[in-house]
Chains A and B, each alone.
Chain A
Amino acid sequence: SQTIHQWPATLVQPVGSPLSLECTVEGTSNPNLYWYRQAAGRGLQLLFYSVGIGQISSEVPQNLSASRPQDRQFILSSKKLLLSDSGFYLCAWNQRPEEKLFFGSGTQLSVL
């Protein structure tokens, strides 16, 4: 069966520090991968999505970047965090666009 792992669960970082959040999917190949951010427990904002290794589409110009070094690995990064980067980050995957998304358990990021 397929599973999605996202870590860490919580992270407190000072302003200006780097960030690396990792997401991995098991039990499938060539998934579509997504990073979403949820601010203050409300709306979900699509940040990045990827349909294959090295293929990253960015939805919102911002202080973040994403990479897909392996088929089932999706990494969200920042060189210097801003206060506005705080939020709940969710990784998700599906196999085909008409299929439902499977979400990770999320990372609560607090930038202080």
Chain B
Amino acid sequence: AQSVAQPEDQVNVAEGNPLTVKCTYSVSGNPYLFWYVQYPNRGLQFLLKYITGDNLVKGSYGFEAEFNKSQTSFHLKKPSALVSDSALYFCAVRDPYSSASKIIFGSGTRLSIRP
């Protein structure tokens, strides 16, 4: 069965510093991986995805993520954090070899950027 884990409930970073939000996954084959961001009382917004190809994926708002097959990870990164990046971040996975269409989300990581 597919699963995804976000080991950190909260990540605190000073503005201007690099940030990393961690995600690990478990699927039977090569995964489809996604990152989403949620602002208070809103639906989720898509940031980026990995389907195949280059392991480093670039997305919206300057975010990027690196697919690491050996470590089954897909960490979200940004070279220089902004206060406006403060939000709840979700990693999601789908097993492309599953006959089901379901997409599973991690528990979320709250990112707090201090000025």
Listed in ascending order, the chain A residues whose CB lies under 8 Å from chain B are 32, 34, 36, 41-46, 49, 51, 57, 59, 88, 90, 92, 97-98, 100-106, 108
Is B53 an interface residue, CB under 8 A from the partner?
no
Given contacts A97-B32, A106-B43, contact A57 B105 (CB under 8 A): no
Given contacts A41-B88, A44-B90, contact A106 B41 (CB under 8 A): yes
Instruction: Choose one: A36, A102, A106; the contact of B42 (CB below 8 Å).
Output: A106
Interface of A is mostly: strand
Q: How far is the CA of A92 from the CA of B100 in the complex (A)?
A: 16
CB pair B46 A59 closer than 8 Å:
no
CB pair A98 B96 closer than 8 Å:
yes
Is B26 an interface residue, CB under 8 A from the partner?
no
Q: How far is the CA of A46 from the CA of B23 in the complex (A)?
A: 18
Q: How far is the CA of A36 from the CA of B104 in the complex (A)?
A: 10
Number of A-B contacts (CB under 8 A): 64
Minimum Cβ distance to chain A for residue B24 (Å):
15
Minimum Cβ distance to chain A for residue B28 (Å):
15
Q: Give the residues from 79 to 115 in chain B that come closer than 8 angstroms, CB to CB, to chain A.
A: 88, 90, 92, 94, 96, 100-108
CB pair A90 B94 closer than 8 Å:
no
Given contacts A101-B46, A106-B41, A108-B41, contact A43 B106 (CB under 8 A): yes
How big is the B interface, by class?
Answer: 20 to 34
CB pair A44 B105 closer than 8 Å:
yes
Minimum Cβ distance to chain B for residue A94 (Å):
8
Scan B35-46; emit 1 where CB is below 8 A from any A CB, else 0: 010001111111
With a cutoff of 8 Å between Cβ atoms, the chain B residues found around residue A51 in the complex are: 101
Given contacts A100-B49, A103-B43, A105-B42, contact A46 B32 (CB under 8 A): no
CB pair A46 B41 closer than 8 Å:
no
Instruction: Choose one: B42, B45, B49, B102; the contact of A46 (CB below 8 Å).
Output: B102
Closest to B90 in A: A44
Can you show 17 pairs from A to B with CB atoms below 8 A apart?
A43-B108, A46-B102, A46-B103, A49-B101, A49-B102, A51-B101, A59-B102, A97-B96, A97-B101, A97-B103, A98-B32, A98-B96, A101-B46, A101-B92, A101-B103, A103-B44, A103-B45
